[in-house]
Structure 1
Amino acid sequence: MTIQEIILHEAESTAVDFKATAYKPASNPEFIKDVLAMANAQVSGDRYLIVGVKHYPDNTREILGVPPEDQLDDASYHKAILENIEPEIPFAYSYIEVKGKAVGVFRIFGTDDPPYMMRKDSAGLKIGHAVIRKGTSTFNLRRADIDRMFAQRQAADPFAGKIEVQLVVDDQKVTSAPTCSEAIFPSEVARQKITSILAEKREKLQQQEAEQRRQRQATENWNNSPLLKAMEQLQLPKGLGLSNLSITGARGGSRYEDRSIEELEKNLLHVKSAYREHDLYAKFEEQAHQLNFVLLNNSEQYVEDCSLTVRLHNDAGISIATKIIDRPEAQSSYSTATAHFLQMRYPHVQEDAGEYLIQESIKSLKHGVENYAFQEPLRVFVPHQASGRQLHFHLTLTAKNLRKPVTKEVILAIR
């Protein structure tokens, strides 16, 4: 049956309701209550709220239409529903011309996740409140209605309520973890070493310059001494002259570190960039936590061709490695091949606008066993300032044989 046929001929029922006037404003409590009741109704297929039609008990009707000043857009109504009802109710709002009048049509569809209820106190309705349409009347939701809804969901979806997620940190199933060790990074070790060598070299240079000044002064004193003048008047043996004598205490060159002061000063200036890979390796491969998720499939069949997306709003200042960091000193072909292999197994990680997005493909989730989400665990560095915070991981699992995505939230408390 077309929308036109419903408007012109269909009687009010559990799936069809007529309203003479438009819902204004979009957050009108009657609108929120009517959508809530329709979404929970025990009918298959789409449900309709038709605005601008006055329906009478004898199934006659008057096409009133929605005047232009009362015609709100689809986005306004969606905002009202999203803010007030959970889970999300799919619907579309459009206008259709009937007998020269613009009739508003709310088409509610895909309501396969009941019970739908109020997510907050709003519009005279309390949080958790739920209503259901039966025939042409609206009733509060009862326990029997909820039991029926869950029974239908279980029968229709073999995976409904059967997928669980557990958090694994450093090979342990936990709900909390400490901050990471903040040992001195290689760049800081190098900075301290260069600073120490520079201080030693500068001190020795000062000593050398002082010694040179002392020797120059001693030479000047010797050249002006009465003894030298007296010796110059002596008749020395043939072949012996002053040029054959050396001043006692003269020093030759001393061997220091291979690099000059100028070179060391330049090294000190660029020490962070020179040791960047060393610092990253220490941070993510030696000090960071290794984090993974165990996916438990408690159904009777495999979940096939899965895609997992994990979102983490990073307001705790943590860092997640975007790749496996190879040991900087490792140069052998074996170590290179190993690093490349691990990199291929590491999940795709990107950070944007303060949010981490982690994605991974999983061939299948076997039932009755623990399935690890990532072949190579995430490297997560948690600084000391994150102590006392919580990390909220939002997981979305899609698969070829899942009727709808499985969404889970996993919380890790930082101590």
Structure 2
Amino acid sequence: MDRLLRIARSGTPDTGIQFRMHAYGKDDIRAFLRDVLAMANASVEGNRYIVVGVDFDEKGRKIARSIDSTDFSGKPSYHALASEYIEPPIRIRYAPVSLDGQRVGVFEIGDCQDRPYMMRADFSEKLRRGDAYTRIKNTSIKMGRRQLMELFELKFRDSVSARDIEVGFPGEIIHKDILIPTCDLSAMPSALASAKLEEMLNIRNRPTSSGSTTMVARLTHARLYGTEDPYVDRSPEDILIELNQIRSKYLHQDNHFLFHDRAEKMQLVVLNQGEEPIVDASLALALPNHDSFYVADTLPKRAIGDRFVDRSPDEIARYPAVTFKNDSIHVAAKIGDIPVGEPVEVFVSPLRLCVGSDLRGRRLGVRYSLHGQNLRAPAKGKLKITFR
């Protein structure tokens, strides 16, 4: 944190440091992606920084303008946006620091050794797949074909062929398919609570006299919730409201059920069979989305007694970046250097899955793309998951 404060306090606008008056927020994501691309492709050594909430007066003196705390809450998730739209993957973190009594934000973009960085998907009409930007002094400019060719030539000077790379599931040999057991999702805490509420709702909706309905409701409540839980007379409307809120009420309990109690931990390995180590490697996965296929986008909170407490920042940082789309789930992980002839695990903290019994007997494909600074082209392929 002291390093980020020094950047905010002492840094000046340059190729590796950008200052911006306002937070990007949800309304300026295009500018965020453009600026991150420009920083990642800049010809500087080491980390790069974007400081938000700092302006300059006519004499060039810094003026700190406080950034709302909600900008650091993960909405929008700047890390997830970078993972979803930029390739190869970029290491990025965002943290608040106090400058002259004001809360400002600092983006730290990790040492970018895998240039060129480009848009992997369309964001808008003005920021399309394949677009790339770089930063020269304190200005971001769109890269042309000649500039991209120079970076590719530099990248492939001492390169490794994708044909020499094997990606798969670990074992005595590297497997291209894996069996994952399913479970009964009706045992989820929110599902159990919903079933009880629906039974109570059915009783309240019975066309019988008020007195007999209340008596049956009291007896049913005692059977479902126990005699220690006092009965509260609720209308059908009240029960419906509670049903609509059931998933949010049991969010942490459900996540603990899915990604701790019944979780399957999925690991991948990469084997480099070439003659040179792969430098600064990263892996991207695309999995199909399904109502009964759950993938954790962060580690579940830790259960201590009847409370759920946050994981440590280090634990959270070790888990891969996961983003969701309508029909797919995207996972990105930074691996680092991959030596020759030695399988290397992809995830520091394995990916956590939970699969409902609706998928039993089904098979899903998983597409992968391995990037590396000295890979001539990404190593791409497909793996298979069979559910039992």
**TM-score for both structures, normalised by structure 2:** 0.44
The structure with the largest alpha-carbon Rg is 1
